[in-house]
């Protein structure tokens, strides 16, 4: 929603710079009963990336609305448990003349103006950049497929298969997800585990998990 209408919203740069993020992680660790801080930060980031990327891609790919997602200009509001509740944007963005369907182009503004900044700050709390990018990838993949993209291994969704970006830069999403045939079923598989199995009471992500031991826990 618009930042001016988001109750409890805090500018993202100030949230990370002035201790808001650390307090959020402390709160979620307390509520969840978790002892491993890496797992807490990873789970927190899953909520962050889903709340950021899914609405953005749905708006852009279904109605051609390009929301302003620059890290420096957005706000964030939290639930009582410390997890992200919503993001605020400074304005409603622009309506594009054509709906963007190509995966690199659709994700481009998120990648260029937001995700790198978020990953840099999450890394400072002890989780790897590869884990951060993989956590973002699963929701981007979901939103792209939901709005008409083929599975990640498909020829018209190269975001997770090509090593370079259209501008020649390194593609941080390359290899994050793959689609495998298992007993006649097309199954998505992460490259890096999100560590949710280390949190009390959090269900496994099943066949998506990178760890064989966690795909069908007893």
Q: What is the pLDDT of residues 17-69, one digit of tens each?
A: 999 999 999 999 999 999 999 999 999 999 999 999 999 999 999 999 999 99
Question: What domains sit in the chain, N to C, each tagged with a CATH number?
Answer: 3-156 (1.10.510.40)
What dihedral do alpha carbons 88, 43, 114, 53 form, nearest 10°?
-70
Q: Give the tens place of pLDDT for each residue, 111-152.
A: 999 999 999 999 988 899 999 999 999 999 999 988 886 555
Q: Please write the tens of the pLDDT for every residue from 62-98.
A: 999 999 999 999 999 999 999 999 999 999 999 998 8
Strand pairing class (65-66; 185-190): unpaired
Cα 147–63–176 angle (5° rounding)?
A: 35
The region, left, alpha or beta by phi > 0 then psi within -120 to 50, assigned to residue 64 is left
Q: What is the pLDDT of residues 173-214, one digit of tens each?
A: 999 998 888 888 888 899 999 999 999 999 888 888 999 888
Residue 204: Cβ within 10 Å count:
15
Count of other CB atoms within 10 angstroms of residue 14: 12
Please give the model's pTM, rounded to 2 decimal places.
Answer: 0.93
DSSP secondary structure letter of residue 204: P
Specify whether the CB–CB gap between 192 and 130 falls below 8 A: yes
Please report which residue ranges of 64-193 form alpha helices under DSSP H. 103-110, 116-123, 129-146
């Amino acid at each position: 929603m618009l930042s001016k209408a988001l109750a409890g919203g805090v500018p993202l740069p100030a949230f990370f710079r002035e201790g808001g993020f650390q307090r959020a992680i402390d709160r979620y660790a307390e509520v969840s009963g978790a002892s491993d801080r890496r797992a807490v930060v990873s789970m927190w980031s899953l909520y962050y990336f889903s709340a950021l990327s899914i609405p953005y891609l749905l708006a852009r790919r279904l109605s051609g609305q390009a929301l302003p997602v620059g890290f420096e200009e957005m706000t964030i509001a939290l639930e009582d448990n410390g997890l992200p509740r919503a993001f605020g944007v400074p304005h409603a963005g622009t309506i594009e003349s054509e709906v963007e369907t190509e995966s690199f182009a659709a994700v481009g503004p998120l990648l260029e103006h937001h995700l790198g900044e978020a990953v840099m700050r999450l890394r400072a709390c002890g989780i790897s950049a590869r884990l951060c990018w993989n956590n973002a990838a699963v929701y981007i993949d979901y939103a792209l497929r939901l709005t008409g993209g083929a599975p990640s291994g498909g020829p018209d969704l190269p975001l997770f298969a090509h090593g370079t970006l259209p501008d020649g830069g390194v593609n941080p999403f390359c290899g994050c997800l793959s689609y495998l045939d298992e007993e006649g079923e097309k199954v998505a598989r992460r490259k890096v585990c999100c560590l949710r199995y280390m949190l009390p009471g959090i269900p496994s992500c099943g066949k998506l998990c990178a760890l064989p031991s966690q795909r069908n826990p007893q």
